[in-house]
Amino acid sequence: MKKTQKELDDDLKNSEKLPGAKKRVQANQQTLSALIPRLENLETRVTKIEGKLYDGDLKKLVDDQTGKVSMNIMEDISRGFGRFVANDENK
């Protein structure tokens, strides 16, 4: 426990040496604060446009969107499993 405490204290001392970290965090927070409302408005507008594309047929919209999301998930899973395939060329 004391070892962990010492490591944390050392890390804290080292972090104080980082110049401008606080300024970068504050700048990123300001950027996100400005972007989040705009992204939410954009999402609302895109949803309305998608609704119009299907002539108000919610079933078509849901079917299309679930198909796209399912395809994205399947592609991500196959990419994820690729990490576990051994590369014989590096041996």
DSSP states of 8-75 as a string? HHHHHHHHTT-TTHHHHHHHHHHHHHHHHHHHHHHHHHHHHHHHHHTTT-HHHHHHHHHHHHHHHHHH
Residue 73 lies in a domain: yes
Count structural domains, the chain: 1
17: helix, strand or coil = coil
Q: Report the share of the chain in percent with pLDDT over 70.
A: 89
- Print the domain residue range for 47: 27-84
Quick one: pLDDT at residue 42? 92
What pLDDT digit, counting tens, does each position of 37-56 carry?
Answer: 999 999 999 888 877 888 87
Summarised one tens digit per residue, pLDDT across range 69-90 is: 898 888 888 777 777 677 666 5
Domain-located, residue 17: no
